[in-house]
Structure 1
């Protein structure tokens, strides 16, 4: 089976405790679209911004999402939430299977610094398999500004990359170009789901393995329910984008060593830029 029903929920959310609202929207989505097998929410949908909301995981809220996933028999990626782990706080996305089990947790590798204050960087790329469907990878919001992160997921076999986002600023149009570019460069689907309302400016996007826009949402609340055809990813990777560039094969076969990734590498230009700080 290569077709897979997925719903990205672009919800109008307040900077508040949204747990009951999220659970209700998940249930209504599955009721309206019974063929949907996975539901994905936006970044920090649970409570919005603020490291004071951090909880150790598993938390009661995560367990509530697990119960809902089990009751509905769906894969659930409930956006992200602030996770307290010792002295650190991470921006973390759980992956819950249809049995209600947390099978993975991805910690955002690139917090939106210097604005996302008090949040530590994750250090592990995460992919997971949906049996008889394919391999999915996780990215959170600002991660996509760093193309190495998406390439790492593709290198690990990801055919669909889920990207919960919380963008409420004027750069959303720029992020849309990155979703398409990363999809075409890695010949995969990217599901970028943003919030609307107080938490975001909407304009979620699903892009396909040839960079095509499968769907671009408006700025209002929207349930994006569609089927992804993972056989297209395999076809494009094998034969090339529009029968042309076979990007991942070239990446695999070229022996080039990138100087910026050598052990101990430093850049005089980057070092001269000064500290990472909010502009005066």
Structure 2
């Protein structure tokens, strides 16, 4: 792995898709202007993961991200968006190279189904379909492996990526206010330490007025 600068964008996700896209562009360009070669956006940075907000790839959001990556000459890891494909909804992370081309898209594999009585009940599997493949890409700096949020909980995924030569793991993620204080930092440090890789997470900023309140605390952890 060679040295490079990586930027993690943590932003408020509003109800306006246009505002969210505009803000993401602005912050990605700002990061690139400060020397970042990689920019990582948060999970669900454009809108809620519901079918009415979903897009095909390529479409509006990914076209914007492609243009930003090309204009700035950066690797842009596009957090995650609601992707519609064949009437199915996926939580998908698109990645663009410095030439603006779509390098790959990763669909979240592990659905977050949890029921903690009196605290939180969340069932992603009722509205989302899981992905079924790994996503890695080579750069001149290192090889990168991708996951999204709850994928972090599954140590085997990080182990497989490491065995396949990844030195950097990136997980756009939006933990909640119940599991965040307990698992957020612990899981990231464990994945980095056990596999001797760098671990990066990008979260939406905490909005106490939102229906779903993200824990925040985006992180970069070294081996």
TM bin (shorter chain): 0.7 to 0.9
Shift of 1:29: 2.2
1:77-88 matches, within 5 Å, as 77-88=77-88
Aligned mate of 1:25, from 24, 27, 35: 27
**Partner residue, 1:208:** 222
1:88-237 matches, within 5 Å, as 88-113=88-113, 115-116=123-124, 117-131=126-140, 133-173=141-181, 174-198=183-207, 200-209=214-223
Shift of 1:105: 0.5
Q: Is the 8 A contact 2:50 2:127 kept in 1?
A: no
Q: Is the 8 A contact 1:91 1:111 kept in 2?
A: no
How many equivalent residue pairs? 206
Q: Is the 8 A contact 1:167 1:195 kept in 2?
A: no
Separation in 1 of the partners of 2:85 and 2:137? Answer: 23
**2:157 alignment partner, SS class:** helix
**Partner residue, 1:51:** 51
> What's the TM-score, normalizing by structure 1?
0.70
**1:153 alignment partner, SS class:** helix
In the TM superposition, what whole-angstrom CA distance separates every residue of 1:56-106 from its partner, at most 9, and x where no partner exists? 111121011101110111110120001111032111001100000001100
Shift of 1:47: 1.1
Q: Is the 8 A contact 2:138 2:144 kept in 1?
A: yes
Separation in 2 of the partners of 1:16 and 1:141? Answer: 23
In the TM superposition, what whole-angstrom CA distance separates every residue of 1:170-200 from its partner, at most 9, and x where no partner exists? 2112121010011111110000111113352
**Partner residue, 2:14:** 14
Separation in 1 of the partners of 2:164 and 2:53? Answer: 32
Q: Is the 8 A contact 2:107 2:131 kept in 1?
A: yes
Q: Is the 8 A contact 2:66 2:102 kept in 1?
A: yes
Say which one has the larger Rg: 1
Unaligned runs of 5+ in 2: 114-121, 208-212
2:75 paired with 1:75: yes
- Taking only aligned residues, the RMSD between alpha carbons, in angstroms, comes to 1.5
**2:128 alignment partner, SS class:** coil
Separation in 2 of the partners of 1:167 and 1:84? Answer: 23
Q: Is the 8 A contact 2:80 2:93 kept in 1?
A: yes
Unaligned runs of 5+ in 1: 210-280
Separation in 2 of the partners of 1:153 and 1:52? Answer: 33
**1:177 alignment partner, SS class:** helix
Q: Is the 8 A contact 2:174 2:204 kept in 1?
A: yes
Q: Is the 8 A contact 1:192 1:205 kept in 2?
A: yes
Separation in 1 of the partners of 2:92 and 2:72? Answer: 23
